[in-house]
Structure formats: C-alpha cells, structure tokens
Structure 1
Amino acid sequence: MRYTRLEDWLSWQEGLNPKTIDLGLKRTMQVWRRLASAGLVSGAVISIAGTNGKGSTVALFEAILKQAGCRTGSYTSPHLLRYNERIRLDGEPVPDQVIVDAFQAIDDARGDIPLTYFEFGTLAALHIFAREKPDVVLLEVGLGGRLDAVNIIDADLAIITSIDIDHQEWLGSDRETIGREKAGIFRQGKPAVFSGRDMPASVADHAAKLQVPLYLNGRDYHYEKIGESWCWRGSDRVVSGLPFPNLRGGHQLDNASGVIMALELLTGNIPVNKAAIEAGLKAINLAGRQQIMEKQGVQWVLDVAHNPHAVAALKNRLQDTPVPGRTLAVLGMLKDKDVVAVLDLMRNQIDKWHFATIDDSRGLSAESLAAMAGKMPSVLMMENHANVKQAVDAAAAEAKSGDRVVVFGSFFTVGEALPMLVV
C-alpha cells in the first residue's frame, strides 16, 4: 500500500496533477473502466448540479430517504471539517480506512494517469458505493456538469438547483452558457428537475435535444406557504401540512419542493410517503448554511455563501432578522470569486469588517479584500488579519451582547471558524 494514513494520501494527490482544476472525463472514465467495480453502481442514481443549493438538496434527499427506510450513498464537495464528509453512507461519513482502501484500488488501476484530487475522490466514492450497494446514489457535481468527473455515471434523474454567475473562467460569463454546461448532466430520455427560478433557455434547449422530460418549479409543480406550514402540488398529488425544512432561508423551499418532485418521478423504485417527507424535513441538519449559534449574548451566523447569488440570500436573511446591536463580519474569500459584487451586496449590512487571509494557494489576502472594500462608499470600519482564527478572535473580543457576527465567503472560512465556536 502506498500510504496507510488518509492525510498522507490527500497530500500526495494534491501534487499528482499539476492542475488543481482540470476539467474533462477521459482520465476518470479510463480508470473507472479498469476498476473491478466499474459499472456496478446499483440502485437509483441522482445527479445534482447548480450554482447554489446542491449541498442542501443532497442533505434533504438523505434525510427524507432515511425516514423512508432507503439506504443512501452521497458524494459532495467541498468539506467543512473532515474529508470524510464528502463520502457518506446513510448520511454518515465513511471511516478513514474505507477511503484509504478505495484510494489504493484506484492507484493500482490508474497506471500513469495523473488524476486530480477531485477525480481521486470521485472514483473513491463510486468504488465504495459499488461495494456497499445503497438504494439511492446521490452525486453532487463539483464544477459545472458536462465535464465534471461525476458525469461519467449515467444518472436516472438529474436536478439543477439554480444557475447564476460563478466559476466564469471554466463555465462562461453568462447564465445561458453556464446553463448549457450544467445541463450536460442530462441523459437521453431520463427525467430532470429544475428547482430554481428563472431557468435559462439553454437548459430547455438541451433537454429538448435529448428528449428529456423536464419539470420546472412553478410550472410543473408548485408550493405555497400556508401559515406555519406549506403545501406541495404536482400534477397528480398534493402534499399539504408540511413542516418547513430545518434549514434557514426562503430558498430552501425551492430545494425541498424540487426533491419532492424528484421522488415523485422515481416513486416506482423509491416509495416515499408523507410521513417520511415530514420527518425528513424536521430532521435535516446541515452545518454552514445560515447556521446560527449564540455565545455570551452574541449571535454568530455562519454561511458558506461565496458568490453573489448565495450572498444575496444571506443579505435577505440579515435584513429580515435584525439585532439590537451592531453587525460585524468575518470575511475570507478565494481569488476566483466576484469579491466586488459580494462586498457591494453586504456593505450596508455590516458595521465593522474583519478581513481574513485564507491559507490556501487560491486564497485572497486580507489586504486585497481591504483594498477592494476601501474603494466603496460606506465601508469605513475594517481590520486585516493573517488568518481566519485571528479574525474570529478579534470579532469575538469586540462583539458585545446584542451584537451579531457573520462569518462567510468560503467553505475554508466557515470550516476554520466552526470548531472555534462549538467548544
């Protein structure tokens, strides 16, 4: 065995391919075909793409299907605290040794093919699911769709959660082009759900070419808030009196209603009743999505929002839930994000900024964030910090009872802050 510890495998993988992101299916497909498990992913396969909402959608599937007695295998990225979060069985991260064994099988099969870090993880997840044979496999696209490594698997159903501007260097600079890339997960004649709003025409065009039955939020299915509950309506079924998902943000009803539509389409293989939906909506738990914690009278809001679409949802949440004191921010972001748009959205919501340098080759320095913020009106109070820990410590020392601290901008930012706040 090349390595016995998971951390050693991950460190080695980071240098195997000189490109951190190297889109394309050829390498992953070649290795997948060599593995003994190739083609043995059993059960229904659901692929999930979208600019935002993918992780929440996977978690909703997991929670509802668990209540229905179905075993799930989920692959998501990135992770917050531990790599194992990326590969889950029945919602629980798999142990280190299971991933190490999968990595060794992939290494034995790949020959001299220089897989990326993400491709190694994708193949490990598929190898594990092939062995464990869950009833439903949930594959979250990492970037785009058409050329993402998970797209080597033909899904029985595809979901696109939302489409907005992000990863322009790889996906394009407009929603129509990005939509076309994400619709690349569609398969000939297999159903697809668009659970977001304002679907680009390119998605419908690609669906038509492949004769994909496409189900749209607000056209083919609907939901309605009724007091302290909500109602889902499809063409043949109404599910009323549902509890709101145990996830903050009005957009979570878009995600939840899309999941119910998908389960309706797969009902022949996955019997899910109202009781399972209700219990799943109540039980879902997902860290870092408008997550709220209270410490010594200070409200902490942690959100992995890192593009304008997601940050706009966070802004709406802050506006809808004011606090008596000030709102401070801890912000750390990656270089390829639309930092100016994010700052512009949030500048009137934040009284004091604590900018953090992210310790990663793709991370922006606090000084770069401050330079961009300094050019904007109303961004007056700010401090720069060498890392997220120092920024969180500074915000915690400054915040008083009744204040709020918002930690956002990246999975790296929230992932480093979260352990400091749960102690």
Structure 2
Amino acid sequence: MGTKPEGSRADPVLDRLKGLHPKVIDLSLDRVHRLLAALGHPERQLPPVVHVAGTNGKGSTVAFLRAMLEAAGYRVHVYTSPHLVRFHERIRLAGKLIDDNRLAALLEDCEVANAGQPITFFEVTTVAAFLAFAREPADVVLLETGLGGRLDATNVVDRPAVTAITRISYDHRQFLGDTLEAIAGEKAGIFKPGVPAVLAPQPQEEAERALTARAAEVGAPVYNWRVTPTEGGFRFESARRALDLPPPGLAGAHQIVNAGVALACLDHLPLTVDDEAMRRGLAAVEWPARLQRLTRGPLADSLSEGWELWLDGGHNDSAGEVLAVQAASWAKEEPVRPLLLVYGMLASKEPQEFLGPLAPFVTAARTVSIPGEEASLSAEDTAVATRACGIADSAAAEGVAEALADLKGRVPGPARVLICGSLYLAGTVLAENG
C-alpha cells in the first residue's frame, strides 16, 4: 500500500516474502506456530499484551491506548495493520517506528528460520513483530488483529492482560461469514479463559449476543463500562473509576466510544496511568486517515481559501454511518459548505452499503481507481455505483488531483471535500500530499 522509502534495505526481503504463499489470505495458525517455534517462541517473552479485534475502531482504540500510556511515561510496543505509506508504520518499538536496518535484519532472521516453507506475508511479518518486541524492552504491547480473530496470525499469545472488541459490522464476508453473528464469533476468538474482555457497545443485537455468548463459553469475564457525552467532552464510568474528560483528539462522535474501550483496557494493566496522563493522551492522539483534516501539501494547497479537505479510510457500512453522522453535524455549521466526495474502493467491498447513509448529504462526487491496486474497482464502475446511491452528479476522474480540480470548478464558493472509500486510497493520498 502507498509508497516505499527510497532505497529501503527491507524492500527486497519484503518482496521475497510476498512470494512464499500463493494466497494473500489463508486463515490458519499452524504456519505461525511453526515459525515462532523455530525462532524460540518470542511471543512468550513479551510484556503485558492488550489484544484488540473488531471491524471498525480497533486502530483508533490502539492509538488512544498508546497516547495515554506514553503520556504516563511508559515504553509501548505497537503492531497495527495495514500501513498507509510505508510498511514500517506497522511496527513501533518503544514509541518509535522501527528503523529500516532493524526491520530488514528481523525479516531476514524470519526468512532463514522459515526455510522457504509456505507462509503468508501477513503471517511472517507478524512473527517479525513478535521477534522485535521480544528483543527490545518495553512496558506493554498493543496488538491489533489483521482480519478476524480466531485464526488471525496475532492470536498466538496464550494469556494477554486484556482483550478488546470494537464495533462489529460487515466486512471480509468471504473469510468471516455472511452474518454479524458469524463475524462477531470469529472476532471473539481472541477471548482467553480468565482474561478480562472489554466490549464496545454493539448497534446490532446479534453481534452483542455472539460476543457475550463466546465470552461465557470461554470463561472470559466481560468488563462493564460506559461513556456519556458531556458539554465539555465525555464522562467515562467503570467499576474502578468515574472521570470527566475532554473531547478526544480524533474527530467524530464515534471516537468517544473508541476512547472508552481504551480507558476500560487501562483498568486491567499492571501499570498506573493517572487522570492527567489520560487527559493529555486523549488530546494528543494521532491516527492518520481517520477523519483527518489535511491543511498542508500539494492537494490541500490546490483548493481555494475557505475550502476544507478531509481524508478517511473507512470502507464498510459502519464507516458510512459514522461519516453520515459527521456530515449531518457539518450541515448544521455556519457558513454551510457543500459536501463533495472523492471516492475510490476495492472491488471486494460494497459501495451501496458504504455510500447509502452518506449520500443524502453529498452535492457531487468524483470517483477514482486506486493507484497500484489490481483489486480496485474502476473509476467508471465506481461512478455508476455512486449514481445508483443517489449522488446524481458523479463522474470518473483520472486521479485525486484531477478530481479535486473538477470539483473545484463545479461549486462556487467554499466547500468541504472528503476523500474516502479505502485505506489503500488514503495511503496514496497521504503519499501524494507529502
């Protein structure tokens, strides 16, 4: 996804590893367990682990946790996916993105231990992250699943400190199932006996039911907590604390829930994070391409004074609903700015599910294919789907810069442009915008 750092020593190794298995995704833990054993089981040599799964919000939840823990002075390892611009974004060692030489050395160690046996790219790079975490001292590991949970390559830590499930919605149906109950059941595969489970409120009853049933079956105690919006931010309440906090540093009303999941996880770590560190962390959190406003760079600078440019990588029904809530809020602001979309999506996604909630707020859209992605829906097919969702002024564009120029010529006066539909698209935008 996105661009690579020029001259990266890790690039040739990453490219070789991509060719070890004919399938990009092949959900299984056997290959991961085999390679971890060959490397001396680094997954057993970690500080306390927070394991986070879900469809929407898991990356933001990890970002909140990292920000609060680092504000309290702790050394934090983080594994997330996918990356936006550089692979190195996936692995943070004690607060810093992994450097190129260390990444290359870790990947080469994994490559030698694997001895050419079939293994997916995500599996071997996940093992590399565990190896990195075992070799560098830290106070805590934040571990985000890639896809699902039960058979996700990250699900090899026998006893994390706490597990968390964010909002469940439809995604990756070809791997996780066609119902929310089935998808939630796969996500709940990260639950462990006796390990507290923190659950985000689920809009759909079948997801909530599947999660709680699996927790009871495994013997994972479900931890109760809640968040309530307030005039000055939000209030978090759990069995251990009640705290009034400022608005999260990430835009969108939904981020209060993600912050709540993170705060509930803190209750189960053998680390002390005081109220002030929580406040500082919540305010300072950064997580690119999640309702991120772009204020500088070639793309942002191409717009006229008074225009706004926003970027979001959401791509499923829940993400569309979240953006619709934000669009409704924007529509109440003065001065009113028309909402314009630059939109691209993978062919495996459902444009109607994503755009349906958002379409009533959109004045015009320009569609693009995602550069470098064979699985991208074409700009022309995306435009057809966009018009079918009720956005009549929709047309294909050659690229994001061309789409912005076209939209700028269509609407007089300041407007708000939202680039959305895919994290892959978001990665190319961040790279193009510098």
Query: Residue 313 of structure 2 corresponds to which residue in structure 1?
Result: 304
Matches within 5 A, 1:105-254: 105-154=109-158, 155-198=160-203, 199-215=207-223, 220-240=224-244, 242-254=245-257
Query: The residue matched to 1:348 in structure 2 has which SS?
Result: helix
1:342 pairs with 2:354: yes
Distance 1:236 1:357, change over 3 A: closer
| Aligned-residue offset at 1:396 | 5.2
Displacement of 1:119 after TM fit? Answer: 1.1
Asked whether the equivalents of residues 179 and 202 of structure 1 are also in contact (C-alpha less than 8 Å), the reply is yes
Secondary structure of the equivalent of 2:119? coil
Equivalent residues of 2:312, 2:421 under 8 A apart: yes
Rounded to whole Å, the distance in 2 between the matches of 1:27 and 1:300 is: 43
Superposition deviation, residue 149 in structure 1: 0.3
Give how far 1:153 is off: 1.8
Alignment partner, residue 408 of structure 1: 420
CA contact (8 A) 1:16 1:115 kept: yes
Q: Secondary structure at the match of 1:150?
A: coil
SS in 1 for 2:49: strand
2:322 aligns to what? 313
Give 1:397 deviation, angstroms. 5.9
The offset of 1:326, in angstroms, is 2.5
Letter in structure 1 aligned against 2:62: V
Give the whole-Å Cα distance in 2 for the aligned partners of 1:236 and 1:52: 26
1:390 CA drift (Å): 3.8
Q: Residue 4 of structure 2 aligns with which residue?
A: none
- Aligned residue identity for 1:60: F
Shift of 1:260: 1.3
Q: Secondary structure at the match of 1:275?
A: helix
Q: CA deviation at 1:379?
A: 2.4
Listed one character per residue, the Cα deviations across residues 321-374 of structure 1 (whole Å, up to 9, x for unaligned) are: 136343221111011111122232222222211111113122111111122234
Pick closer, same or farther for the CA change 1:33–1:396 going to 2, 3 Å.
Answer: farther
Unaligned runs of 5+ in 1: none
> Counterpart in 1 of 2:78?
74
Q: Which moved more, 1:269-278 or 1:3-12?
A: 3-12
Q: Which among 364, 374, 387 is matched to residue 361 of structure 1? A: 374
Q: What's the TM-score, normalizing by structure 1?
A: 0.92
In structure 2, the gaps of 5 or more residues are 1-6
Please say which of residues 336-345 and 173-182 is displaced more in the overlay: 336-345
Does the 8 Å contact 1:357/1:388 carry over to 2? no
Shift in alpha-carbon separation, 1:104–1:169, aligned structure 2, 3 A:
same
CA–CA separation in structure 1 for the residues paired with 2:102 and 2:48: 22
- 1:406 to partner: Cα distance: 0.7
Indicate if the aligned counterparts of 2:60 and 2:258 stay in contact, CA closer than 8 A.
Answer: yes
- Give the conservation status (yes or no) of the 8 Å contact 1:355–1:366: yes
Report SS of the residue matched to 1:347: helix
Preserved contact between residue 207 and residue 214 of structure 1 (Cα < 8 Å): yes
The one-letter code of the counterpart of 2:215 is A
Q: Distance in 1 between matches of 2:135 and 2:430?
A: 33
- Secondary structure of the 1:321 match is helix
Deviation at 1:419, TM superposition (A): 3.7
- Give the number of equivalent residue pairs: 412
> SS state of the match for residue 149, structure 1?
coil
Question: For 2:364 and 2:221, how far apart are their aligned partners in 1?
Answer: 49
The answer to whether the 8 Å contact 1:247/1:285 transfers is: yes
- Structure 1, residues 154-198: CA drift from partner, whole Å, max 9, x if none? 222100011111111100111111111000001111111002334
SS of equivalent to 2:311: strand
CA distance in structure 2 between the partners assigned to 1:400 and 1:41 by the alignment? 60
**TM-score normalized by structure 2?**
0.90
Q: Which residue of 1 aligns with 2:48?
A: 44
Whole-angstrom CA distance in 1 between matches of 2:362 and 2:87: 32
Structure 2 Cα separation of the partners of residues 130 and 393 of structure 1: 49
Percent identity among equivalent residues? 34
Superposition RMSD on alpha carbons, in Å? 1.9
Deviation at 1:40, TM superposition (A): 4.1
1:392 deviates by 4.2
Which of 345, 349, 372 is the aligned partner of 2:385?
372
Which residue number corresponds to residue 61 of structure 1?
65
Cα deviation per residue 1:126-148 (whole Å; 9 max; x = unaligned)? 11001013211111001000011
Query: Aligned pair in 2 of structure 1 residues 392, 120: CA closer, same or farther (>3 Å)?
Result: farther
Tell whether the 8 Å contact from 1:328 to 1:405 is kept in structure 2 after alignment: yes
Quick check: 1:160–1:196 contact (8 Å CA) kept in 2?
no
